[in-house]
Amino acid sequence: MENELFQKMAQSVLDGDSDAAVSLAKQAIAGGIDPLKAITKGYVTGVNKVGAKGYVTGVNKVGESFACGQAFLPELVMAGEAMKAAVATLEPEMKKRGVQRTMLGKVVLATVEGDIHEIGKSLVGTMLSASGFQVYDLGVDVPAARIIAKVKEVDANIVGLSALLTTTMVKQKEVIDELDKLGLRKKVKVMVGGAPVTRDWVQKIEADGYSEDAIGAVGLAKQLVGAA
């Protein structure tokens, strides 16, 4: 019975159906199912059998499809939102039981000062949150000083900096330089992203990595905290 519910949970993520994801989370709570198990075995790990060999995942399956060009941006956004909705429904029950989902790390996200592009950065935040990171999204047009202040406030492990304009890319370097001046650079990893960002730029500003899409960003973040 549990496996059937877990399959439906995984499918709700694949379908990007937030209403179904929430409804199934409520069913799990009513049925006395461990909410942490519902997340790890249902929404995240899933139990959709592939023949007799093993399992496919919910949110991870969508990510694989996106990487292979079989799924598109709206599907990925909806999958992430469905996952977030399910987790939000289950979290009060987890607190009641005295258990919490293991968080992989804390990430401060921002689109740098002078740039107001939102979609890519928001998608990365959604997928990081769904994958087990605690995300602090500061929004767009964020000055370096505010980013640094948030990093110190929450004791972040990673900073994610988005820039879609070549004229604002320099702000990514500004944040890295400030972290360095404050002696935080060894402790805080920096991911950068955005259409103009290249591997050469990453090396030039001494960031820790970049990704061309949200799924790659999740994989990179996991590597940076040693959870890959």
> Per-residue pLDDT tens for 104-162?
999 999 999 999 887 778 778 877 887 789 999 999 999 999 999 999 999 999 999 99
Task: Quick: pLDDT tens for 90-106.
Answer: 988 888 887 777 789 99
Sequence spans of domains, the chain: 2-97, 105-224
Please, which pLDDT band fits residue 52 given cuts at 50, 70 and 90?
very low
Residue 8 has which token pair? 């439906």
Coil, strand or helix: which one is 138? coil
Confirm whether 2-97 and 105-224 share one CATH topology. Answer: no
- How would residue 72 be classed by pLDDT, with cut points 50, 70 and 90? low
pTM, two decimal places:
0.69
Which of 170, 221, 163, 225 is CA-nearest to residue 196?
Answer: 163
Per-residue burial over 30-61, b if 16 or more Cβ lie within 10 Å, else e, is eeebbbbebbbbbbbbbbbeeeeeeeebbbbb
Per-residue model confidence (pLDDT) at position 181: 96
Distance from CA of residue 51 to its chain's centroid?
Answer: 29
Q: What number does CATH give the domain 105-224?
A: 3.40.50.280
Range scoring the smallest mean pLDDT among 32-41, 81-90, 96-105, 207-216: 96-105
Tell me the CATH number of domain 2-97, given options 1.10.1240.10, 3.20.20.70, 2.60.110.10, 3.30.300.30.
Answer: 1.10.1240.10
Amino acid at 159: V
Burial class (CB in 10 A: 0-12, 13-18, 19+), 124: buried
